[in-house]
Structure 1
């Protein structure tokens, strides 16, 4: 019979966190039969059942929950000691990262470049999504660290502000947008209704007594930029993403900038103890998005 090893305890921790053997197998880069074998080995060694099935999820028994509560800090403590001894340079593993599109364009490239240079053993899995879904994925254990439009308040997460992005009303200079927008003749484009930018768009139009014939929506900022650059309308855009086009003159500002800015935060689970994730979060907390001139 095999003796209990660190990988057995790591397996239990990830099953408990993700809820299924299949998810734990994917996270640990192994197979579901291998995960099942590890669980059998530790249960046989201890002589107790650690999980019970509830629907599709594997739920810890009382003894299993107590075992993980006591072992998880020990496992991560040992890993942290080993990593700190090597100054984290030898850290290996896969970190699942989620980000909104604006945050990804504004701060993620420099952060990713630093991780690749200083933590070459870390594999990053990055997916873009909406803030609401990113928060849900973080709390469920599907993501390890996320970049959110904030502020976000939840007892289950720990956040660090990383700056804000100014907004600009922009259109193509060829559209004679100032006059056309004021007259309501120029279509307006916006992110969908669930986006804070959509509410700012409507509030700004109302404040300037502008009633456009149409307010179109698109869920991709880069596509919005392409649409308005082609002279098809005006839109509120993140200054960081429109900066190059404004400098080149392919876009011009057509209304005063809204007072509203979009704040961003890096976030991890409040009970996160993985030293690799904590190291990356500390680096993310040092990010600073420039709001624009």
Structure 2
């Protein structure tokens, strides 16, 4: 029997992780026909069927699942040994990172610059989104590493705390001068699957405030501009509005909420890619404070 090459095993691992030949081809920077050819070569060598098609996805057969379970730790160990020996200097690949706006505005730029300096062969793909969607993308394998507003509790996710930020109730100076919450004001917030929305609702109740309405927007920067323009009041992460408060464009209109928003770096609990694990280790050293 001919030997199975290392790239055959790598192909097998990524199809099993991502669920389609197309996704594995994109991850390995090759074509879908090349991936299909590699799978046929493995199956011909072993004399077994490794995958079966279910709709658009390729699902492991019982024998294929056992093969992946036994080969994955061996492959991960091999990758880690090579990368560790070189201090990860020779690392190559694409790592997909999801981040919320607060992390993107604070610790993420420094993290990206460090990775680009230390690991020039690694390409980062960044996407900004809300925590709820990033959580699902992480579990689904469409992103590798995420910076989430927490706390996050799931057996499928492994996290490392990277700090927390304080929150402030703010409105424009004109809104505050007109009486602020002494009259019914519209309140703006991130949608209700965000921790910031929960803090908003809790804080209104704690202060005995009945807002005229609670409108939502999934972008904090846009919320800031809406409120500066006189569109009501909102709870904001203090670091994101610090300059506006100092310049007087925004004014605090209620006591600061007692809760803070925690942030965590997160990967799948089953993650075995040494490069992703190394970036997760580095992400765990970050700090968001405010």
Deviates more, 1:171-180 or 1:153-162: 171-180
Q: Measure, in 2, the Cα distance between the counterparts of 1:161 and 1:233.
A: 33
SS in 1 for 2:98: strand
Segment of structure 1 superposing worse, 10-19 or 57-66: 57-66
Contact (CA 8 Å) 1:146, 1:266: kept in 2 or not? yes
* Residue number in structure 2 paired with 1:203: 202
> Are the counterparts in 1 of residues 150 and 195 from structure 2 also a CA contact under 8 Å?
no
Corresponding residue for 1:34? 34
In 1, Cα distance between equivalents of 2:141 and 2:215: 35
2-structure distance, mates of 1:19, 1:89: 30
> Once the two structures are superposed, what CA deviation does each residue of 1:249-276 show, in whole Å capped at 9, x if it has no partner?
2222222110011111111111211110
Q: Name the counterpart of 2:216.
A: 217
State the alpha-carbon separation in 2 of the partners of residues 260 and 177 from structure 1.
27
Give 1:177 deviation, angstroms.
Answer: 4.7
Contact 1:178-1:254 at 8 Å conserved across structures: no
Question: In 2 relative to 1, CA 2–222 (structure 1 residues): closer, same or farther, beyond 3 Å?
Answer: farther
Offset of residue 208 of structure 1: 2.3
Deviation of residue 103 (structure 1)? 2.7
In structure 2, C-alpha distance between the alignment counterparts of 1:63 and 1:214, rounded to whole Å = 57
Secondary structure, aligned partner of 1:254: strand
* Residue 77 (structure 1) aligns with: 77
Structure 1 residue 162: Cα displacement: 0.9
Distance apart, 1:287 and its partner CA: 1.0
Whole-angstrom distance in 1 between the partners of 2:200 and 2:49: 57
TM-score, normalised with respect to structure 1 = 0.93
Q: Is the 8 A contact 1:97 1:146 kept in 2?
A: yes
Contact 1:171 1:177 in 2 (8 A): no
Q: Structure 2 length as normaliser, TM-score? A: 0.94
* CA positional deviation for 1:125: 0.9
Q: Which residue of 2 aligns with 1:230?
A: 229
- State the partner residue of 1:278: 277
| Whole-angstrom distance in 2 between the partners of 1:279 and 1:178 | 53
Shift of 1:212: 2.9
Q: Which moved more, 1:197-206 or 1:17-26?
A: 197-206
Shift of 1:178: 7.3
CA RMSD of aligned residues (A): 1.8
Please, which runs of 5 or more residues in structure 1 have no aligned partner?
none
Distance, in Å, in 1 between the alignment partners of 2:151 and 2:57 is 32
Distance 2:227 2:179 in 1: 15
Aligned to 1:125: 125
- Size of the alignment, in residue pairs? 290
Distance across 1 between alignment mates of 2:106 and 2:248: 20
Higher mean alpha-carbon deviation, 275-284 vs 70-79, is at 70-79
Alpha-carbon separation, structure 2, partners of 1:270 and 1:206? 37
Cα distance change on mapping 1:177 and 1:208 into 2, 3 Å: farther
Worse-matched range after superposition: 74-83 or 91-100: 74-83
Question: Which deviates more from structure 2 when the two are superposed, residues 159-168 or residues 231-240?
Answer: 231-240
Q: Which residue of 2 aligns with 1:18?
A: 18
